[in-house]
Every structure is written in C-alpha cells, then in structure tokens.
Amino acid sequence: MTDIDEVFPVYCLHRGSIPLLISMPHVGTNIPDDVLRDMTEDAGHLDDTDWHIERLYGFALAMGASLLVPKYSRYLVDLNRPPDDANLYPGKNTTGLFPQDSFDQLSLYAEGRCPDAQQKAERRERYWRPYHEALKAELGRLKALHGHVLLWDAHSIRSCIPRLFEGRLPDFNFGSADGASALPGLAQTLSDVVTACSTYSSVANGRFKGGYITRCYGNPATGVHAMQLELAQCTYMSEQRPYDYQPDAAERVAPVIQAVINQALIALRTMGGSSA
C-alpha cells in the first residue's frame, strides 16, 4: 500500500495503490491577493467552482485511489484547458484558459485590468504546469505498477446554464472524447449502469465529451484510459449561493458514482487495460 499524502504549493496529491487517479481540476478556491485586486465582486463568489467534489468523493480513499486536488481557482487559470487556449468545442460558447467572464457572462475583472501576456505566461508556469506534471507523473507511476490506469476527471456543474447548453443537463454526463480516450464503448456502458441502478438521468459523450485532461492523457492503446464525469450539481448540493452541500442528496448519489468507477475498473481489468 502506498497511501502517501503530499502537499505542494499549488496542489495536494494522495498517492494510492490501485490503478485509479481521480483528478479534480476545478475544485480550487484560492486566488492570490494581487490578482483579487484586479477582479470584480462577482469574481469573489467563485460561482463556477466544482463545489464539494472532494467531500462527495470521500469513498475514494478507502478504495485505494490516487487523488490530485488543486488549491487555486479556475478563475486564475483553468487546468482543464490546453496551454495554447484553443477552444475544445469549436462553434460553442465556452470559457478559456484565462477566463475573463463567468458562465453567466459576468465580468471577472475590473475594466482594463485583465491579465496581459506576461501575467498569463506566469500563471501558466506557476499554476497550470505543476498540476499537469504531477498528473503525468502519477499516471506513469500507476501504469508502471499495474500495466494500465484509469484517469477519472471529476467535475460538477449547475444543471441549467443557458450560455453553455439548452435546457437542463442530464445528471450524469460521461465524456471519453467520443470514445477516443478510453476503452471503446466504456462511456455508454457507464451511462447504462447509472440508468439501470438508479433514477438519475445519464448520457455518454453529449454536450460534455471531456476537456483537455481527458483528451490529452487518454490513450487506450497504451493502457491509459481517461473518463470525465460532469455531474449536475443539483444531485448533491444547492445550485444557489452559498452553494450548500446537501448531505442526504449526496448520500444517494455518491454510491452511484462509486458503482460506475468500479464498473470501469472491472472493464479495464477484464480487457487487460489495452484496447489494442
């Protein structure tokens, strides 16, 4: 058993013992004081945070999973965007590597105070790069131990955001880059598990197909399988400020999350971890 906690300036890493790394790139809430001075009051509410994901995934430590958890907010730099800030969903409205407005299109910076090119480069080096270096290293360690590894990118989002999608989002949104980042058919299998064992709605590779982390690191042919779960926040918390955790609701949805993760691990073990 490894089970080692390592605390670094911009993230915390729990090194587990099974072939599972859970990344939580949007749970951070810190923003440096010098940046906050340039930001608006709306930015201080951190509305687009993936609130309480660490608590919801409390079962993961007992499973023996590795966990990678950032300390800083996506408003500072978005860890699930590519370093060149390319749009992952061409033709669709979304936020970038250095967001200037929120999902509700509220300005995050005071007029004329958005980060310049040098500030962006510094943030990329100080906050973005260390997280990705840790992610790559832990994936490498787990793959060396087991021959394959599941990267589970854990997210949550409000169920209704007109800027990003029409209507109400399904409860469970599995993304595998249309099957390119994980075992073929795995996203649909997990979606089917949700609908079979619960009353939650689910979809595979719908509006959210997986962000940069899923697409960059998932390589089934080499035994690295990446799956994003974008969970509707109404399944476990209040979607209004102050975004309270709802323990009763969370206790109902957490076992379903654990069940689909276990199903994914079983599928990879059965297939030997490679789709080749």
Q: What are the phi and psi torsion angles at 13 (to 5°)?
A: -125, 125
Rg (CA), the chain: 18
| Domain edges within the chain | 4-270
Residues ≥6 apart with Cβ < 8 Å to 93: 163, 164
Structure tokens at 264: 């994914």
In tens digits, the chain (276 residues) has pLDDT values of: 356 687 889 999 999 999 999 999 999 999 999 999 999 999 999 999 999 999 999 999 999 999 999 999 999 999 999 999 998 888 888 899 999 999 999 999 999 999 999 999 999 999 999 999 999 999 999 999 999 999 999 999 999 999 999 999 999 999 999 999 999 999 999 999 999 999 999 999 999 999 999 999 999 999 999 999 999 999 999 999 999 999 999 999 999 999 999 999 999 998 765 554
Structure tokens at 198: 């619960």
The CB-side HSE value for 51 (13 A sphere, CA atoms) comes to 22
Task: Answer yes or no: CATH 3.40.630.40 is held by domain 4-270.
Answer: yes
- pLDDT for 75: 98
CA distance 91 to 165: 12
Estimate to the nearest angstrom the gap between the alpha carbon of 137 and the chain centroid.
Answer: 18
Dihedral, 4, 9, 10, 16 alpha carbons, nearest 10: 0
Q: Which of 168, 209, 186, 219 is nearest to 80 (CA)?
A: 209
Task: Enter the pTM of the model.
Answer: 0.95
CA distance 144 to 133: 16
**Is the distance from CB of 149 to CB of 142 less than 8 angstroms?**
yes
CA distance 197 to 98: 39
Write down the residue that tokens 């399944």 correspond to. Answer: 235
The CB-side HSE value for 198 (13 A sphere, CA atoms) comes to 22
CA distance 200 to 209: 19
